[in-house]
Amino acid sequence: MRQHRTRLHRLALPAAVPLAVALLAAGAGTANAASSPQGVVAYQSSPANENELALYNSAVGLTQPVGMEFGTSPSIATELGEPSAFAVAIANSNNELYIDTSNGILLSSGPDLETGTSPSIALVPTIAGRVAIAVAFVAPGDTLTIVTYTTTSNNGYQESIINTGDAVTAGTSPSVALDPGGSGNYEVAYEGTDDARLAVYSSSTGTSSTVNLGMLSGTSPSITTDGTSFEVAVEANNDYLYTQNLTSSARIDTGLGMPTSGGSSPAIAWDPSGTGEFQAAFQANTGKMWTYEVDTKTADNTGFGMKSGSSPSISGSLDYGYELAFQANTGVLWYWHSNGNTQINTGITMEANPSISG
């Protein structure tokens, strides 16, 4: 049974107070603006830094320090081309949903998450009466839950919590995408319990459906949208990267191998810089990070070694084509963008997987 709960938030929140985010580059001190990405990278700091949520971009900061549930990953979303307008969701150190934004904290002690899972967040510019922020997560008992924030006419948010009751495969996490055109429509992709097949919740119908695409058990899908269609990337149960367009039903078996042991999941994003392409990133079965362009069916070996069992994050960028953040096989955070092949070894030791948006 689906349950809904709503409440109102005023946006008269204190402006975010930028913190001196500790960028512990080995032997290099603090990273400067010249070495910052266009987008914003969110990550869990190392135990030496109390496993706190941290941001890598010298132009933005968090409202206040907050600890994360060990081994979980943050999710960050920004307005297109405006990295200073962001929202980030995590499982805090009490394993509760926590949402911070560039306007202040929306949710500091929210619903509990299933242990070991991570939330996903999407953000678009505010339009009165439309969903501006959507967060998907797995609640205790491995059920899909969604929190949305709809902009009100008095510059507030109406919060709505949807307990879908839909079962999610244990140990996996959902992914949410929100129409950038401002319609308020969103879709959530997750690994269902029906033979570990891909499942999708659609806000337009308020229901979930199963896609006849088996996933490798224990992996998580990634979803994105260009405003016209929704595209998903998964590791299929044959250990290959697959992409699935939920609008046209077009499916691609890329033939590109991913780790057979699970734990690593692909990421996908829409490139808004003019090409309008869907671009996926994933850890190959060689341990290297690869990218895959859906429209041209072109694969590229970046040559970057990734930490075993980790997953990359990818974001479209107006100026940079697409940006990538990942944990290297040295255990530190790396950043790379396709325009000019710019690489940054941040030297920052981190936990779990990073998230990038910009």
Higher model confidence: residue 231 or residue 183? 231
For 82-136, how does the pLDDT look when each residue is reduced to its tens digit (9 = 90+)? 888 899 999 999 999 999 998 889 999 899 999 999 999 999 887 888 899 999 9
Alpha carbon distance 74, 53 (integer Å): 8
Between 1-5, 79-83, 101-105, 322-326, the lowest mean confidence (pLDDT) is in: 1-5
Does residue 249 register a pLDDT over 80?
yes
For 304-317, how does the pLDDT look when each residue is reduced to its tens digit (9 = 90+)? 999 999 999 999 88
Supply the pLDDT for residue 340.
Answer: 67
For 326-337, how does the pLDDT look when each residue is reduced to its tens digit (9 = 90+)? 999 999 999 998
Supply the pLDDT for residue 25.
Answer: 25
Write out the two tokens for 129.
Answer: 């009466």
Q: Where does the pLDDT of residue 2 fall: very low under 50, low under 70, confident under 90, or very high at 90 and above?
A: low
**Sign of the alpha-carbon dihedral angle for 279, 226, 188, 354:** positive
Q: In what order do the strands lie in the sheet with 3-10?
A: 3-10, 156-167, 143-151, 131-139, 120-123
Cβ atoms of 43 and 74 within 8 Å: the answer is: yes
Alpha carbon distance 106, 156 (integer Å): 11
Supply the pLDDT for residue 59.
Answer: 79
Q: What percentage of the chain reaches a pLDDT higher than 70?
A: 89
Between 100-114, 189-203, 220-234, 262-276, the lowest mean confidence (pLDDT) is in: 262-276
> Cβ–Cβ contacts within 10 Å for residue 84, how many?
13
244 lies in which domain range? 3-357
Average pLDDT value for the chain: 87
Distance of CA 309 to the CA centre of its chain: 17
Higher model confidence: residue 301 or residue 29? 301
Q: Where does the pLDDT of residue 348 fall: very low under 50, low under 70, confident under 90, or very high at 90 and above?
A: very high
Alpha carbon distance 41, 335 (integer Å): 9
Between 27-31, 43-47, 123-127, the lowest mean confidence (pLDDT) is in: 27-31
Supply the pLDDT for residue 28.
Answer: 28
Between 8-17, 235-244, 311-320, the lowest mean confidence (pLDDT) is in: 8-17
Supply the pLDDT for residue 338.
Answer: 78
Dihedrals φ, ψ of 338, to 5°? Answer: -75, -25
* Number of independent structural domains in the chain: 1
Per the listing, tokens 């910009």 go with 358
Task: Identify the CATH number of the domain in which residue 64 sits.
Answer: 2.120.10.70
For the segment 197-207, the average pLDDT, to the nearest whole number, is 96
Supply the pLDDT for residue 29.
Answer: 29
Higher model confidence: residue 342 or residue 115? 115
For 152-166, how does the pLDDT look when each residue is reduced to its tens digit (9 = 90+)? 877 688 999 999 999
Supply the pLDDT for residue 14.
Answer: 30
Contacts of 123 (CB under 8 A, 6+ apart): 77, 78, 79, 85, 86, 87, 132, 133, 178, 357
